Structure 1
Amino acid sequence: MTAIVRAIDVGYGNTKYVVFHERGQEVQCAVFPSIAPQASVGADLSGGVFQKRNTVTVDVNGVLYEVGRDAKLAQDASYGRVLDSKYSLSDVYMALVRGAISYMGVPHIDVLVLGLPVNTFETHNLDLAKRMVGTHRVPAPTTSEPGATIEVEVRAVRVIPQPIGGFFDYAIRNNLYGRMKNQMNLLIDPGFYTLDWVVAHGVKMANARSGAHSGGMSAVLSTMAEAIGRELGTQLNDYSVIDDAIRTGIAPRFCGKSFDITRHIKIGKEKARQFVSVLANRVGNGVDIDNIILAGGGAEFFKDLIQEKFPNHDLVVTDAPVFANVRGFQLAGEQYASSQAFSNARAA
Structure 2
Amino acid sequence: MSGEEHEDFLRVLVDGEPFVAGLSPDRAELWSRELHEDYPSTASYRALFHAGFLLAERDEIDRVVTGLPVNQYLDPELRERLAMQMRGEHQITPPRKITVCEVKVVPQPVGGFVDYVWGLPDAKDLEDSRVLVVDPGFFSASGSTSRPT
- 1:91-123 CA-to-partner distances (Å, cap 9, x unmatched) read 111110010000010121111111110111133
Q: Which runs of 5+ in 2 are unaligned?
A: 129-149
Question: Which one has a larger percent helix, Structure 1 or Structure 2?
Answer: 1
CA distance, structure 2, for counterparts of residue 131 and residue 72 of structure 1:
31
Q: Which residue of 2 aligns with 1:328?
A: 114
In structure 2, the CA distance between the partners of 1:54 and 1:154, relative to structure 1 (3 Å rule), is same
CA distance, structure 2, for counterparts of residue 332 and residue 125 of structure 1:
19
* Kept after mapping to 2: 8 A contact 1:55/1:71: no
Question: Which one has a larger percent strand, Structure 1 or Structure 2?
Answer: 2
CA distance, structure 1, for counterparts of residue 42 and residue 90 of structure 2:
16
RMSD value, Cα: 2.9
In structure 2, the CA distance between the partners of 1:107 and 1:62, relative to structure 1 (3 Å rule), is closer
Q: Which residue of 1 aligns with 2:143?
A: none
- 1:251-295 CA-to-partner distances (Å, cap 9, x unmatched) read xxxxxxxxxxxxxxxxxxxxxxxxxxxxxxxxxxxxxxxxxxxxx
Q: Which residue of 1 aligns with 2:62?
A: 110
Q: Which residue of 2 aligns with 1:84?
A: 36
TM-score (norm 2): 0.68
Q: Which residue of 1 aligns with 2:92?
A: 138
* Kept after mapping to 2: 8 A contact 1:135/1:154: yes
Q: Which runs of 5+ in 1 are unaligned?
A: 1-45, 140-147, 166-325, 342-348
Q: Which residue of 1 aligns with 2:47?
A: 95
Q: Which residue identity is paired with 1:129?
A: A
* Kept after mapping to 1: 8 A contact 2:65/2:113: no
CA distance, structure 2, for counterparts of residue 91 and residue 135 of structure 1:
16
CA distance, structure 1, for counterparts of residue 88 and residue 15 of structure 2:
15
Q: Which residue of 2 aligns with 1:126?
A: 80
Percent identity between matched residues is: 26
CA deviation after TM superposition for structure 1 residue 54, in Å: 2.9
Aligned length: 123
Aligned counterpart in structure 1 of residue 8 of structure 2, from 48, 54, 57: 54
TM-score (norm 1): 0.32
CA deviation after TM superposition for structure 1 residue 163, in Å: 5.0
* Kept after mapping to 1: 8 A contact 2:14/2:92: no
CA distance, structure 1, for counterparts of residue 20 and residue 88 of structure 2:
22
CA deviation after TM superposition for structure 1 residue 136, in Å: 1.1
Structure 1 runs (4+) deviating above 4 angstroms are none
The higher relative CO (CA closer than 8 Å, separation ≥ 6) is in 2
